[in-house]
Amino acid sequence: MAAATVLTAAVPPGPAAATANAILAVDNITKRFETPEGVVTAVEGVSLSVTPGEFVSIIGPSGCGKSTLFNIIGGLLDGYDGTVKVAGDLVRGPHPAIGMIFQEESTFPWRTVIDNVAFPLEIAGVAKSERYDKALHFVSLVGLDGFERRYPAELSGGMRQRVSMARTLAAQPKIMLMDEPFAALDEQTRLLLGDKVLQIQQQLKQTTLLITHNITEAVQLSDRIFVMTYRPGKLKRMVKIDLPRPRTSEIVSSEAFGRYVAQIWGDLREEASRGMRADESAKLHHGGHS
C-alpha cells in the first residue's frame, strides 16, 4: 500500500465557503444553554458541508458539543444561531432527508427485527407486502438474515445496532447521521461493524455524517474528519483521509492509518486534557459529585 500523505487544513471560524454540490450545509452554528452556573456555549461558529456519497466524521473529546451538533443537524434541537440545509432545504425540525442512528440502544423491544426495520415504511403508508419485501432487503444488507422474526431482546448489542441501522436505511434518507452508534460495543465488534458500515456505504453510496470520539473508527470509515475543540465546541481542523477504497478493518494495521491516528490524536490530546481538567475541577468544586 502506498504511503498516504496526511492532508490537513485548519478550519477557520465563521461561515465556511459553501460547497456548490453540498447535500448538507451547516453554516455558522452556535448553541448556548442556560445553566444554574450561567450561560454555557456548547458549540460556536461551526460550519461544514458534506457532498453526496461522502463519509464525514466529527471527532472531539467528551463535552465538546458533538451530541448537541448531532441534535441540531437532526432537527431535534432548536434555539440556535446559524442554519442547517439539506439539499438546499432549511432544516427547521426533523427532516425526511435525514436518517438518524442514536448512541443508545434504540430498537423497539416490542417489535420483531423485520417490524423494526419496516417501521418507517409503515409510517409512510407503504402496503404491508411491499414494506416487508423492502425491509427484508435491508435486514439482509446489514447481515441479519434468519433473524427477521426475533425480538431485540434475543440479539446482541451489535446486532441491535445493525437493526437500528437497517431501520434508518429503510427510510432511504439522503444523509445518514450517526451519533457514536458503536460506543457501547467492544473493540472487536466495533471494527467488524465498521466493515459492515463500509460495505453498506460502498453499496448504497450513502452520504454519512458520523459523530464519534473514537479516532480508529473515524479514520477507518471516513473521507474527511473534522476535529472539534473542547467547550465551546469549534471545528479545529479538517483532516482528509486519503486511504484507498474499498476498505476493510485490515486497514487499521497499515502505516498510513497509524499516521492519521497519530495526527488526529495530536490535535485531540490537548482538547481531551483540557476537558479532563475541567471535569476534575467541576468535581472538586461540587464536592466530588458530578
Partner 1 sequence: MSASVTKARWFPGVLGFGSFIGAVLLVELFIRLGLINRFIVPLPSDIVLAFPRVVIEEEVFRRFLLTAGEAFSASILVTVFGVAGGVLLYQFRLLREATETWVAAVAAAPLVLIYPLYLVIFGRNATTIVMMGFTAGLAPVMLKTLEGLSGTRRVLINVGRSFNLTPWQQFWKILFPAALPTIFVGMRLGLIFSLINIVGVEFLINFGGLGQLINELAERYDLAGTYAAISFVILISICVFFVTERLERWLRPVG
Phi, psi (deg, nearest 5) at residue 48: -160, 160
Q: How far is the CB of 120 from partner 1 (least distance, A)?
A: 5
* Per-residue exposure over 123-152, b if at least 16 CB sit within 10 Å of its own CB, e if not: eeebeeeebbebbbebbebbbbeebbeebb
Q: How far apart (Å, rounded) are the C-alpha atoms in residues 222 and 76?
A: 24
> What is the SS3 assignment for 216?
helix
- For partner 1, give the closer residue by CB, 12 or 96: 96
- For partner 1, give the closer residue by CB, 45 or 120: 120
Q: Which stretch binds partner 1 (CB under 8 A): 18-26, 31-39, 97-105, 232-240?
A: 97-105
- For partner 1, give the closer residue by CB, 60 or 99: 99
Asked if 55 interacts with partner 1 (CB under 8 A), we say no
Contact criterion met (CB below 8 Å) for 109 and 152? yes
Cell of 130: 411491499
Cell of 230: 473542547
Residue (of 92, 20, 53, 54) closest to 238 by Cα position: 54
- Within positions 116 to 145, which residues make up the interface with partner 1, using CB under 8 A? 119-120, 123
Q: How far apart (Å, rounded) are the C-alpha atoms in residues 267 and 283?
A: 25
- For partner 1, give the closer residue by CB, 78 or 280: 78
Residue (of 4, 36, 48, 55) closest to 212 by Cα position: 55
Among 94, 244, 246, 258, contact with partner 1 (rule: CB under 8 A):
94
Q: Which stretch binds partner 1 (CB under 8 A): 56-64, 72-80, 126-134, 139-147?
A: 72-80
Among 45, 74, 194, 233, contact with partner 1 (rule: CB under 8 A):
74
Asked if 181 interacts with partner 1 (CB under 8 A), we say no
Q: How far apart (Å, rounded) are the C-alpha atoms in residues 211 and 74?
A: 12
Contact criterion met (CB below 8 Å) for 253 and 84? no
Q: How far is the CB of 136 from partner 1 (least distance, A)?
A: 19
- For partner 1, give the closer residue by CB, 75 or 157: 75
- For partner 1, give the closer residue by CB, 108 or 195: 108
Asked if 98 interacts with partner 1 (CB under 8 A), we say yes
Among 45, 65, 99, 181, contact with partner 1 (rule: CB under 8 A):
99
Q: Residues 115, 117, 122, 126: what is their CA dihedral angle, to the nearest 10 degrees?
A: -120
Q: How far is the CB of 178 from partner 1 (least distance, A)?
A: 12
Q: How far is the CB of 156 from partner 1 (least distance, A)?
A: 16
Among 12, 14, 15, 109, contact with partner 1 (rule: CB under 8 A):
109
Residue (of 131, 124, 195, 126) closest to 158 by Cα position: 195
Sites of contact with partner 1 (CB under 8 A)? 74-76, 94, 96, 98-100, 102, 104-106, 108-110, 119-120, 123, 151-153, 171
